[in-house]
Amino acid sequence: MLTSRLHLKPKNAAFVAGLVFLCAQISSTAAETSRSSDDLYYLAQKSYYHLMKSPDKQKFRHHWDEVIHKFSKVAERYPKSSQARKAVFTVAKLYDGLHGVSKNAKDLDRAFHHYKKVARDFSPSTLTDDALFELARIYRDRKNFSSAARIFKTIFEKYPDGDRAKNARLQYQRLAAIVPVRKTGEPSARLVVPEKKSAPRRLEKKRMVATKTKPSADKRKSSAPLIVVDAGHGGKDYGAKSAGGVYEKNVNLIISRHVKTMLVRRFKYRVVMTRKDDTFVPLKGRSEIANNRNAELFVSIHANAAARKSAHGIETYFLGEANNERALATAARENGALVYSVKDDQVQKILASLITTTKINDSSRLAGAVQDSLFRSSKKKFRESKNLGVKEGPFYVLHGTKMPSILVEVGFLTNRKESRMLAKPDYLYGLASSIAEGVHKYMQDKSLSI
């Protein structure tokens, strides 16, 4: 047998090693380059979902940076692709979300830069008004009311059919009410300090202010954020049922009524219920109520069920791709007959578009605030309460809404012990109180109102 040996001098060995490394790098780069914009976007999207469903990961900057890098790579490698605009917008949202954690002004500056890039560097699309709205919001939060008002006005004048038009007009009107308006109709950033008047004039002005106190209070009340509370099921749709004869539709309604009362009386929000009594409301009709009223949030309240009687616990969902069979089963049960009318590929397209909007990030945070409040409250009265966490799921009632939306499962009626608790009025009141508190905490953190 013939054998041959290759004897290399040190310099040659180093050259070959370098050549091998270079070939490996070229191969790796070629593999990366061969990936389409859709492939890269999909990988970035998966990372985004993992980050959004992990409150622990969101505490550390490097996790945010990793996802930002993946979306940035889509825009850098495929700047002319249909995914580039969505990727840049998502980078903006990520920096926006990171700022909420880090409180670092530079992160908000980066978010502002990328929102501006979406509005300026890409042709008009469904994301243009979203980007402009976020720019105006940042201006508003930084007390630059003049710039904020100008952009809000641009949104409802140039994009009247967009999903941000109504809210932009509302925000513009609020700003116009707190800063002087020039003849051009544009609010000024400068506040006018009244000149000193004589005593009689001051007295006259004081009387005028006194007469306007009540209308001003009414105006503030009418401009309070509107929240839609959705009592799941109802009428001919009974939902789940316990062995003891407790129907889900009744549990949902009792909790929802309490939630409304607390949000209105305790926290001073405006609330609309999708149903106030035992009536049937189609799933599509529920989301339409929220959209037509231009609500800030949508909270759907349900009780759970499972074939496995030992299953118990509290969980909160936001719209997304279910990553386990039980989440899919829960979504299928809540979707009812509609589960057959929403094909898997359609659901995936919906989810793909959601990644580029404010809705998915804010829905995740809303779900986290409510879930945390719910579990802490239920644990005090029901020692065996279990925290099943925040999850994603393809719920039809959530994908139709245009605002941050969640679906709360307050417990399993199919579990013997948990169903007993869900039949107790004081326990349902406690659950409602914790849901309202979670919603209020989210609203405070986001500073949605001026």
Residue type, 257: R
Specify the pTM.
Answer: 0.52
Q: Is residue 169 classed exposed, middle or buried when 0-12, 13-18 and 19+ CB atoms within 10 A define those classes?
A: middle
Position 162 scores a pLDDT of 82
pLDDT tens column, 48-73? 888 887 888 888 999 999 999 999 99
Position 358 scores a pLDDT of 58
The DSSP secondary-structure symbol of 59 reads: G
Strand 314-319 to 405-412 pairing: antiparallel
- CA-to-CA distance for 7 and 170, rounded, in angstroms? 79
C-alpha torsion 286→287→290→293, nearest 10: -90
Longest Cα–Cα distance of the chain, Å, equals 119
Question: Do 400 and 287 touch, CB atoms closer than 8 A?
Answer: yes
- CA-to-CA distance for 262 and 253, rounded, in angstroms? 14
pLDDT tens column, 260-296? 999 999 999 999 999 999 999 988 889 999 999 999 9
- Tokens 């370098």 locate to 18
Position 185 scores a pLDDT of 45
Position 151 scores a pLDDT of 94
C-alpha torsion 290→294→295→298, nearest 10: 30
Q: How many whole angstroms from its chain centre is CA 436?
A: 17
- CA-to-CA distance for 244 and 422, rounded, in angstroms? 11
- Structure tokens given for 51: 């980050």
The helix (run of H) or strand (run of E) holding residue 432 is helix 425-446
β-partners of residue 229 are: 273, 299
> pLDDT under 50 in the chain at which residues?
1-11, 15-16, 19-20, 22-24, 26-34, 181-217, 219, 337-345, 348, 350-352, 354-356, 448-450
- Structure tokens given for 342: 């929403």
- Tokens 């759970």 locate to 304
Closest residue by Cα to residue 179 from 140, 132, 221:
140
- Structure tokens given for 74: 């889509």
- CA-to-CA distance for 35 and 33, rounded, in angstroms? 5
Position 381 scores a pLDDT of 86
Domains and CATH numbers, the chain: 37-178 (1.25.40.10), 225-446 (3.40.630.40)
Q: From the CB of residue 150, how many other CB atoms can be counted at a distance below 10 Å?
A: 16
- Structure tokens given for 179: 């800063």
